[in-house]
Amino acid sequence: MAAYDWIKALHVIAVISWMAGIFYLPRLFVYHTAAPKGSPQSETFKVMEQKLLRIIMNPAMIVTWITGLTIAMMGGWERQGWFMAKFALVIVMSAFHMWLAAKRRAFAEDRNTVSERGYRMANEVPTVLMIAIVILVVVKPF
Ligand code: HEM
């Protein structure tokens, strides 16, 4: 069905944009923790973080959800094992997004408490999730 493929293409475009931000924002946080509070560098990071989240990540996450749920219903995938597993992992990915948004607000108000090492470790979370999600949806192992 042509419509299905067009919506799936839009889904993959949105996923790529969302993942680009989800990998980059914790990197910005790593550099931001090293910048003294109130310094010009810190203020620049605040603007970069806010723009990345508002202009790229939030819209990309919303489009990923809308297109993903649409093709899930069109394809009748809802009851398949791989879909339910993918769905659970995407909820964890969305929770990670919310955690990043909360940390962005903390930086904006100069009250970040997470260490540089903490943000480096946090980066592993979306990496593992993304690998598992793509294998589930492409290989459909169950
Ligand atoms: C937000 C909730 C999401 C839902 C409901 C959803 C659902 C779906 C569905 C139903 C398909 C079509 C599968 C097929 O036609 O075989 C699909 C394709 C795909 N999804 Fe998602 N998805 C979501 C989020 C994500 C995320 C976060 C990623 C990656 C990190 C992702 C990666 C992909 C990829 C790469 C495809 C293309 C697979 C193919 O054409 O073989 N999706 N998604």
pLDDT tens digits along 69-106: 999 999 999 999 999 999 999 999 999 999 999 999 99
pLDDT(1) > 80: no
The residue whose CA is least distant from atom 28 of ligand 1 is 15
Q: Are 83 and 72 in contact (CB under 8 A)?
A: yes
The residue whose CA is least distant from atom 13 of ligand 1 is 137
112 three-class SS: coil
Q: Which residue has 């791989």 as its token pair?
A: 82
* pLDDT bracket for residue 131 (50, 70, 90): very high
Q: In angstroms, what is the span from residue 10 Cα to ligand 1's centroid? A: 10
Q: Which residue has 């749920």 as its token pair?
A: 69
**What sign has the CA pseudo-torsion 54, 123, 105, 92?**
positive
Per-residue pLDDT at 18: 98
Using a 10 angstrom Cβ sphere, with 0-12 exposed, 13-18 middle and 19 or more buried, the burial of residue 7 is middle
Whether the ipTM is more than 0.85: the answer is yes
- Report the pocket of ligand 1 as residue ranges, CB < 6 Å: 8, 11-12, 15, 19, 64-65, 68-69, 71-72, 75, 77, 90, 93, 130, 133-134, 137-138
Q: In angstroms, what is the span from residue 61 Cα to ligand 1's centroid? A: 12
Q: In angstroms, what is the span from residue 87 Cα to ligand 1's centroid? A: 9
First-last CA distance in the chain: 24
pLDDT tens digits along 4-56: 999 999 999 999 999 999 999 999 999 999 999 999 999 999 999 999 999 99
